[in-house]
Amino acid sequence: MVFGTVLGQDLIIKEITITGVKRTKPSFLSKIITTRKGDVLNTLALENDILKLKRLPPVANATFKINQLREGTVAVVFAIEENFTLIPFANLFSSSNDDFAFRLGLQEFNLLGRNITLGGFYQYDIFNSYGVSIRAPYLFSDKFGLAVSYNDFTTQEPVFFSEATADYKYNNKGVEVLGLYQMNLKNTVEFGFSFFSEDYQYIDGFTSNAVPTALKVDKRLWKLLYNFEALNYHYQYLNGFKSALNLQYVHSADANLPDFVIGFNDFLFYKRVGQKGNWANRVRLGLATNSDSPFAPFTLDNNLNIRGVGNTIDRGTGAIVFNTEYRHTLVDKDWFVLQSNVFVDGGSWRNPGGELSDFSQNENIRIYPGVGLRFMHKRVFNAIFRIDYGHGVTKDATKGLVFGIGQYF
């Protein structure tokens, strides 16, 4: 073992070596770690560098070793286990009227060996949708980066009135630009804007004189994201706390879809349980401008917050959502992991134009326990195929399967 001093003398780092990398540029990894040649040996700084490396999509695992040299100097070796990062994905699901739907995509999470994510998708869900994005968190330095995306997204959306429901063809087309800044190991900020248009075209169902059957609006959005992350990663296991704040202001060119502010915060807590267990929790608290509009921003949906509830079955101007699950590893081989989970999802919504007391109304509360499986590849980033079955226990409950890529949260 090498200590930070020998007979009262500081140990100086003379060599830094990065091993195990094939696709990732060693020069990029050297850029983002804080340890430098000529520094006094500091094991705490090395451990923080390991945490930073483990959070990178190209890195499956990272360790360090200290080798003592002559005359009070040491060599530091970072050993990297790489992920495969060119990931195709395919999701199959049913739309609101049970038609067959799918999404196909391809993402490279380590473009040019520099942790740049480039991706695109095509979706068919009654209508055609597609999008492309690029995210380079270390484009300008070890702290500053940039993200740009373009989406042309079209779906059949239910619009909820007090009397009944209508179906609209909804299109959202626009460009988003975000600046990325990593304050330190635990705190990151993203700030930017997007220009987009929303187009609603009535299909069928209930109509109202107060709501147009056709509406196209140009909008501008300003966004601020703040993330605090104190998580430890070890393959499929997570331990620690994370908070993600999302604040948005949306300006509209049409009074039918007025300006609004929306903000929500996700609080996530993970606890390693024994050698094979992981307890995972998420709480989301959100509020938006309380307009009495059928186009309210918070949605109740299988794929977002409560598994088994259905696809976009309700909307609101506020949300309180909790998800808790216990994940247990059943099989853990060199590259493959099979995980089971039991969960409880629940939440409540504030009705458009309603009161905070709506959160406690029985008709707005949903609770869905369930079970699921995870099929994972340990050497491919985010290669987690999940299947969950949720069964509601509250009023007018439903049940159903939910498929997806990646952990639910």
Domains and CATH numbers, the chain: 5-82 (3.10.20.310), 86-405 (2.40.160.50)
Which pLDDT value is given to residue 93? 63
Q: What percent of the chain has pLDDT over 70?
A: 96
Q: Are strands 298-300 and 277-288 parallel, antiparallel or unpaired?
A: unpaired
Give 15-57 pLDDT, tens digit per residue.
999 999 999 999 999 999 999 999 999 999 999 999 999 999 9
Residues paired with 400 in a beta bridge: 390
Which pLDDT value is given to residue 2? 53
Give 146-203 pLDDT, tens digit per residue.
999 999 999 888 777 767 788 899 999 999 999 999 999 999 999 999 999 999 999 9
Residue 293 has pLDDT above 80, yes or no: no
| Average pLDDT over every residue of 222-226 | 98
Closest CA to 299 of 347, 370, 363: 347
Q: What are the C-alpha distances in Å from 66 to residues 1, 15, 338?
A: 8, 10, 35
- 97 — pLDDT class (breaks 50, 70, 90): very low
| Average pLDDT over every residue of 77-105 | 79
Which pLDDT value is given to residue 246? 98
| Average pLDDT over every residue of 368-392 | 92
Q: Are strands 73-82 and 12-19 parallel, antiparallel or unpaired?
A: parallel
| Average pLDDT over every residue of 359-365 | 93
Residue matched to tokens 């994201």: 225
Residues paired with 402 in a beta bridge: 388
Residue matched to tokens 């975000």: 178
Residue matched to tokens 């340990």: 378
Closest CA to 40 of 64, 7, 76, 65: 76
